[in-house]
Structure formats: structure tokens, C-alpha cells
Amino acid sequence: MRGWNSNKWSFWNKIFAGLCVVLAVALAVFLFWYMRSEQENSQEIVRQAMAADNVQEQETDGGQQPETAAADNTVDEAASEDAVSESAAEDTAGTPAADAAQDAAGENTTQPETDPTVSGEEKAAVQTDLTGISWRGDEFLSGSDIKEKGAAALLERRLTDAGYRIPVENFSLTGAGTLSQLRLAGVSERDIQWYVEDHKEQENSSQMETGVREFSDEELARSDQGYFPIIFMGYYGGWNSDPQELADQIQLILDTYDNPEDYLVLGLHPVSGGNNPEGYAQVMEDTWGDHYLDLPEVLGDATAASYDGQERIADAAFAKLTELGYLKGEQE
């Protein structure tokens, strides 16, 4: 039994070995056929490429392409037409009709002589040294009205309409006394506290300010020192009913600018300011001279808190800047 099994496995091993030999031979034949086929394809591609190169060389040596020849013919025809035109022009030159035609053509083709122009920004730079206006003091409007209908915004719009490119930065405060204005402008705390202590010693004055507003570092950061200052403050108190004290405080703010001699001060005596508007105006005029603008005369029957009053203040400030020579009036 064991011998029979051994002979059985020997028989199948031979069969398996024979199959392997057959498969190996078949694989070798297939690979040989595949490589030869690829070689023939490669040779055919090379032959086609060489044939294409020969055709291109023959076309290059044999002459121009049809498109090129047609283009040359077109050029020749155009040249012929030009020659005919030139000949006709020579034949008609000197005739009255030809001279009239030439004059008309000259009028149509001659470019008008123009002088160099300057932009609005260059006009502004030529006609004013103002790089910007810093508006500080009392605010009478609120919310979006400040940017749309406030005197500072209206003044900037007035300048733009007149041809200037002068920004107007508004640092006004609503309901703030003059000491808060000093702090916002960067006046030293020592000067501010001197006024605070002095006001604490006074009695029965509606113009005292002992509680000064606090501001963030961002609010206190300044970039307007080189601008032209317009100071309009005092209506909300802070100067102890003493117009001279108010003038001194305004000077402290002016001293924070690069050119403190160039300025405009607007004055509006408050109803609760000691009931002495005449004395107030006199001190302001004596201190600031032509650089002072008395707003009661400007406002007339309007109030500073009205849209009409804000327009009048803006127009008066523009006129005053022109009068003082900082502006040159309306641009052409």
C-alpha cells in the first residue's frame, strides 16, 4: 500500500514539472513576440518622423507657403495702390481744391496746445501751507450728526468744495469742561491739578470743574501737532467764570502745537458764565486779536445746537481763515 502511494505522487510530480516547462516555454515565446512587435512599432515611428522632416525641407527649399505668397501679393497690391495715389496727388498738387483739402486735413489733425495742469492736491499745496486743521473744544450735536452736520465736518466739506484738500480732525467733547479739554490735548497733569485745587477753594461758581474726565491711551495719542488749531471751548465751564483764566487755558492747548502762533479761537459766552458777556468778549478780543471770532455775532437768531447754527459757524470759520491769509478763497 505504501509503495502504491509513492508511485502515485511520483507520477503527479512529473505531470506538474511538465506543465511548468510548457508554461515557461509559452512565456518565453510571448515575450519574444512582444519585444519584436514593439521594435517594429518604434522603427515605423522613426520612418514617419523622417518622412515628415523630408517633406518640410522640400517645402522650405521649394519656395514660400501659400499664405505667405498671398500676403506678399497683398502687400504688392497695396504698394501699387499707394503709388497710384501718390501719382494722383502729384498731378493735382498746387490746385485750389488740393490746397483747400490740405488745409482742412491740417485743421483736423493738429493737436491743440495745452498748458500743463495740476491736480486739486497740487493746487491746495500751492495756495495754502495748511496740512490739516485740528478742531478742539465744545460739541453741541451728538451721534452721527457730528460727522454729517457738525461745524468741523461742514468746514472740511466747504474746503473741499473750494478746491482744497485739507483734512479737519474733530476732537470736540460734548458737555465737557475746559480741564477735560486740557487733558485730551496733552497738557501736563500738574497744570490741570493746579486748576482743580484752585476751583475746590471757590464757592458759588457754575464754571468750576473739579472732576476731570479720564481718557484711554488711544484717545490721548496725538498726530495733529502739525495741524492748524481751531479752539472753541468754554461753554460747558471749567474756567471759574474768569475769562482771563479761560484765555490762559486756551494758550496751554495752543502750546501743544508745532506752530502756536497760527490759530483761530471761537468764543461763545455761556448763559451761566457770570452774566458778563461783554467782559468775556473784551478779554477774548484783547488776547487773540484778529484770530478771534465772536460767535454771537455769527449765530444771530440761531443757536450753536441747531443745524443752521453749525452751518453758520463753519462758514464763518472758512471766511476768517481766508481773511487771515491761510486760505486764498475759492479756487477757479
Within a domain: 226:
yes
Residues 173 and 26 occupy one common structural domain: no
291 assigned to some structural domain: yes
Q: Decide if 4 is inside a domain.
A: no
Shared-domain flag, residues 189 and 277: yes
pLDDT, one tens digit per residue, over 192-227 is: 999 998 888 876 555 567 789 999 999 999 999 999
Choose the weakest-confidence range: 48-52, 80-84, 136-140, 309-313.
80-84
**Would you say the pTM of this structure is higher than 0.85?**
no
**Residues 224 and 134: beta-carbon distance below 8 Å:** yes
- The more confident residue out of 245 and 127 is 245
Cα(261)–Cα(280) distance, integer angstroms: 22
Task: Give CA 174 to chain center in angstroms.
Answer: 30
- 127 and 218 inside one domain: yes
For the ranges 139-153, 190-204, 269-283, which has the lowest average pLDDT?
A: 269-283
pLDDT tens-digit series, residues 248-257: 999 999 999 9
- 45 and 125 belong to one structural domain: no
Cell of 150: 457738525
Q: Is residue 168 part of a domain?
A: yes
- 136 contacts 172 by C-beta, under 8 angstroms: yes
What pLDDT was estimated at residue 314? 98
Give dist(CA 264, CA 218) in Å, integer.
26
Q: What is the 3-state secondary structure (H, E, C) of 8-66?
A: HHHHHHHHHHHHHHHHHHHHHHHHHHHHHHHHHHHHHHHHHHHHHHHHHHHHHHHCCCH
Is residue 109 in a domain?
no
Tell whether the model's pLDDT for residue 48 goes beyond 70.
no
Whether residue 227 contacts residue 131, with contact meaning beta carbons closer than 8 Å, is answered with yes
To 5 degrees, how large is the angle CA 139–CA 144–CA 147? 65
Among residues 170, 104, 101, the alpha carbon closest in space to that of 137 is found at 170
In the 8-state DSSP scheme, what is residue 277?
A: H
113 pLDDT more than 50:
no
Residue 79 domain flag: no
Please identify, among 56, 77, 92, the residue that sits at the C-terminal boundary of a domain: 56
- The set of cell numbers assigned to 269 is 459766552
**Range of weakest confidence among 16-20, 106-110, 139-143, 155-159:** 106-110
The answer, yes or no, to whether residue 326 has pLDDT greater than 90, is yes
Residues 265, 185 within the same domain: yes
The residue length of the chain stands at: 332
Confidence of residue 282 (pLDDT cuts 50, 70, 90): very high
Using CA atoms, how far residue 271 sits from 212, 277, 280, in Å, is: 22, 8, 12
Confidence (pLDDT) at 145: 95
pLDDT at 33: 66
Q: Provide the pLDDT confidence category of residue 14 given band limits of 50, 70 and 90.
A: confident
36 and 170 co-located in one domain: no
pLDDT surpassing 80 at residue 62? no
Q: Choose one of 56, 73, 93: the last residue of a domain.
A: 56
The x, y and z cell numbers of residue 53, run together, are: 522632416
CATH number of the domain at 126, please. 3.40.50
Copy the grid coordinates of residue 158: 466747504
Write out the three cell numbers for 108.
483736423
Same domain, 46 and 125: no
Instruction: Please give the Cα distance from 15 to 32 (Å, whole number).
Output: 26
Q: How many domains is the chain partitioned into structurally?
A: 2
Separation CA 107–CA 234 (nearest Å) = 67
Show the cell assigned to 132: 490739516
Sorted by sequence, the CB contacts under 8 Å of residue 316 that are 6+ apart come out as 293, 295, 298
CB 163 within 8 A of CB 180: no
Provide mean pLDDT across the span 142-147: 94
Give residue-wise pLDDT tens across range 307-318: 999 999 999 999
Last residue of some domain: 56, 72, 90? Answer: 56
Q: Within this chain, do residues 181 and 283 fall inside the same structural domain, yes or no?
A: yes
User: Which residue range is the domain that position 288 belongs to?
Assistant: 121-323
- What is the maximum span of the chain, computed from C-alpha positions, in angstroms? 146
